[in-house]
Structure 1
Amino acid sequence: MKQLIKYLEPFKTQVIAVIVLVFLQSMADLYLPTLMSDIIDHGVVKGDVPYIWKIGGIMLLVAAGGLLCAILSSFFSARTAVGFGRNLRNEVFIHVENFSQEEFDRLGTASLITRTTNDILQVQNVLMFALRIMITAPIMAVGGIIMAMGRDARLTLIFLVILPVLALTIFFIARKAIGLFKAIQKKLDALNRVLREYLTGVRVIRAFNRTGYEEKRFDAANRDLTETTTAAIKIMSLIAPAMTLIVNLSTIAIVWFGAVRIDNNRMEVGDLMAFIQYAMQIMFSLLMVSILFIMIPRAQVSVERINEILDTEPAIEGGKGSRAANAKGWVEFQNVSFSYPGAEAPALSDISFKAGPGEVTAIIGGTGAGKSTLVQLIPRFYDATEGRVLVDGIDVRDWPLEELRKKIGYVPQKTVLFSGTVAENIRFGKEDASFEEIRHAAEAAQAADFIEEMKEKYETVIAQGGTNLSGGQKQRLAIARALVRKPDIYIFDDSFSALDFKTDAKLRQALRKETADAAVILIAQRVATVMDADRIIVLNEGKIAGIGKHQELLKTCPVYREIVASQLSEEEIA
């Protein structure tokens, strides 16, 4: 928790206000039983009605002041906790933005979402409660004991038995619950993962009639979470009856021994009434602490999970300062090898090639050959295990990440669109792009025709994930997003797979003009898409099986000939 305290610094004034207000409220609460005792001993017993009215009026004023302090302290504590949660969520989000793909793979998307939302909410709620209770409880407990001693010091010895019993009860119950609360957060991650997979893959699930299977998966994860939560609640629910039993037995004991002292003329009735009130305040403060103990174990788990994110240093960090390159649009791989964490075999081995401006470098190969992995090393989604990747003659590790990625227009294998308008999605590639630039990029990407057919044209709202568009439409918008950026390097990761042959050919022709001064690295499964490239790299099991032009590879590369033969007829090959 200490690591998160710094996020309270902007709210110092409000925290101080809460402390002062809670102190005043506690003083008012502690003073009321004394006034009640005076009314009974000096007003009721003696029949002094004016005295009763006088002290009663003072009690009303004290109670009203305490109520006002309680309202204000609740307001400021809530405002502080909510502001703390907002700042912490921002910090976590910004930190996660710097994660490489390796951190996302290790922590998991579902877990990161849970930690940024549910875990921070748990800490926020505990903070709001703790700001008042952590101050009120000690004041009420210590103040109550002091005031009770002022009424009858001998009778306060009963607290030597009551308070240790209360504290030990709370401690043993809370200790058993901590492990369960840790399990709850992990099982909440698992539930979120199942739900997220269902929502993102709902079309595939329905197409294969796997709805029943997904329902069983969700039910199993939900039941597991429910059972663990129920077990934790059962343990924590023991606190309330245990506290009630102890409080009631304590009241009986106080009344019993107090009656004996009144009978021996060592105590007044009003003093006994005040003593009982102070005992209740002491018990109530400990009850509030017990509630806090119910919340703290879960919050403690949440704090650990949040700290795990904040303590995670990105495996990939950009170089320092800006880089001035002599040439633009050059990519070079020098004996590059790469292995995924924990993998038995490398995904890429000894890759070397150059790609320059004005050239189209196509990469082709079978499934799992390492094509996407190769291009992901250029914008540093991953770092090469061995060898070097150079952009404009400079190792990508020496580039500041922002500068490096500004030079690249990347169209991923899995098209990602965002909720918003068509224009906003294209403008995602260049924040200050004019409408003319957006329209030009759409025309080059062969997207203008279907955009113009939409009711709102470029202001048409795209659903989350682009679910109201076809696969080909989404790919063309993603290509337009890269084109509007006008980068030095274009990476198309199997970005034409959903296009028909006619659109594919028109798009490649348009790209030649748009990317004339840039390096184009193109991954494709179709031979027709890559055969006109300036350079074709054939990958097989993570290694280069051949480099050259179409006709050269037909003669020298058996792997390429096999790929071509599987797609083209003998007449087309000839």
Structure 2
Amino acid sequence: MTNDITQVQNLVSQFVRGMIRTGMLMFGSIFFLFRLNTRFGLIALCAFPLIVGCMGLCLTKANPLFTRLQAQLDEINAILQEDISGIRVIKACICEGYEKLRFGKANGALVCTQLQMLTILTFMNPIINILIYVVVALILRVGAFEVAAGAATPGVIMAAITYTTQLLNGIMGLTMLSQNISRGFASWKRVKEVLHTEPQLQDGSFDGQTEQHGKIEFRNVSFSYPGSDRMALKNINLTILPGETVAIMGATGCGKSALV
């Protein structure tokens, strides 16, 4: 969850800076292309929906992978935290092999998801570059006719190519920003779920004042957390007499907190 909060913070800061910079580059380039030559501006403007559509298609396929990636990253961090905090218990119980296998399985799933996401995003940048270079080629083609007809000069053509290059830089910035926004929104959904979760245990009306004394007794008590198929406690029998002190010991994740 710490990773999700960091992603949300990065999303806010990068969104503000990126949108200002990218917007100035893209709209400024198209504006000056129209001022140089209306045909040049129309060529760039017609290619813009294709570029945005390609970007949207790739991000639509990558968005579910962002959510899965954050969950798998949290799982790896949880395993590391458990292993480091319970390293003495792991060594005492000779569970090093099991913990290596558990971490390797979680890390392999993370690598697989990361590769799938990068494969999708890897296709996005070349396709966008191809579209931009098609725009440059069309501007050169139209510009050649304009120069031959005396309606434009070579300097105007070079200026149009420069503005198209600036437009390319803006689109590349928008591509990187969209990837960060998609990952940030995946993290925001997970953070929002935690913030809006209603606790299963509610405070009672006990005011702490009582004169009654009695023992605590468990008889074949079993317990599992909501949504889990694994039993945290199974057939527990326990008797605690008044004034008696009981120590609960065991490995990490064996159900000590659930018993309390």
Place the TM-score, normalised by the shorter chain, in its bin: 0.7 to 0.9
Counterpart in the other structure of 1:204? 89
Counterpart in the other structure of 2:62? 177
How far did 1:368 drift?
Answer: 5.8
Structure 2 gaps, min length 5: 223-238, 248-260
Structure with the higher fraction of residues in strand conformation? 1
How far did 1:194 drift?
Answer: 2.1
- Alignment of 1:141 with 2:30, yes or no, is no
Aligned partners of 2:245 and 2:103: how far apart in 1?
Answer: 37
Counterpart in the other structure of 1:339? none
Counterpart in the other structure of 2:202? 316
Equivalent pair of 2:4/2:190 in contact (CA under 8 Å): yes
Equivalent pair of 2:33/2:160 in contact (CA under 8 Å): yes
What's the secondary structure of 1:331's corresponding residue? coil
- Residues 525, 318 of structure 1: alpha-carbon distance in 2 compared, 3 angstrom cutoff: closer
Q: Which has the larger radius of gyration?
A: 1
Aligned partners of 2:19 and 2:163: how far apart in 1?
Answer: 19
Q: Percent identity?
A: 29
- Alignment of 1:331 with 2:235, yes or no, is no
Equivalent position amino acid for 1:208 in 2: C
- Alignment of 1:194 with 2:73, yes or no, is no
- What does the per-residue CA deviation read over 1:218-264, in whole Å, with 9 as the maximum and x for residues that have no partner? 00001111111111111112222222222222222212221221121
Aligned partners of 2:242 and 2:120: how far apart in 1?
Answer: 60
Aligned partners of 1:318 and 1:262: how far apart in 2?
Answer: 85
Equivalent position amino acid for 1:207 in 2: A
Aligned partners of 1:137 and 1:185: how far apart in 2?
Answer: 27
How far did 1:133 drift?
Answer: 1.8
Structure 1 gaps, min length 5: 1-114, 333-353, 356-360, 371-492, 495-519, 527-574
RMSD: 2.8
Instruction: State how 1:64-463 maps to structure 2 within 5 Å.
Output: 115=1, 117-314=2-199, 315-316=201-202, 330-331=209-210, 354-355=212-213, 363=215, 365=217
Equivalent pair of 2:8/2:187 in contact (CA under 8 Å): yes
Aligned partners of 2:204 and 2:153: how far apart in 1?
Answer: 77
Aligned partners of 1:311 and 1:265: how far apart in 2?
Answer: 67
- What does the per-residue CA deviation read over 1:85-108, in whole Å, with 9 as the maximum and x for residues that have no partner? xxxxxxxxxxxxxxxxxxxxxxxx
- Residues 290, 523 of structure 1: alpha-carbon distance in 2 compared, 3 angstrom cutoff: farther
Equivalent position amino acid for 1:140 in 2: L
- Residues 226, 521 of structure 1: alpha-carbon distance in 2 compared, 3 angstrom cutoff: farther
- What does the per-residue CA deviation read over 1:14-64, in whole Å, with 9 as the maximum and x for residues that have no partner? xxxxxxxxxxxxxxxxxxxxxxxxxxxxxxxxxxxxxxxxxxxxxxxxxxx
- What does the per-residue CA deviation read over 1:317-372, in whole Å, with 9 as the maximum and x for residues that have no partner? 588xxx9x8xxx7327xxxxxxxxxxxxxxxxxxxxx24xxxxx5x35468669xx
- What does the per-residue CA deviation read over 1:399-454, in whole Å, with 9 as the maximum and x for residues that have no partner? xxxxxxxxxxxxxxxxxxxxxxxxxxxxxxxxxxxxxxxxxxxxxxxxxxxxxxxx
Equivalent pair of 1:364/1:524 in contact (CA under 8 Å): no
- What does the per-residue CA deviation read over 1:169-209, in whole Å, with 9 as the maximum and x for residues that have no partner? 10111110001111111112222232233223322221222
What's the secondary structure of 2:5's corresponding residue? helix
How far did 1:524 drift?
Answer: 4.0
Aligned partners of 2:131 and 2:38: how far apart in 1?
Answer: 21
Equivalent position amino acid for 1:284 in 2: N
TM-score by length of 1: 0.37
Q: Which has the higher contact order (CA 8 A, sep 6+)?
A: 2
| Residue-pair matches, total | 230
Aligned partners of 1:268 and 1:523: how far apart in 2?
Answer: 97
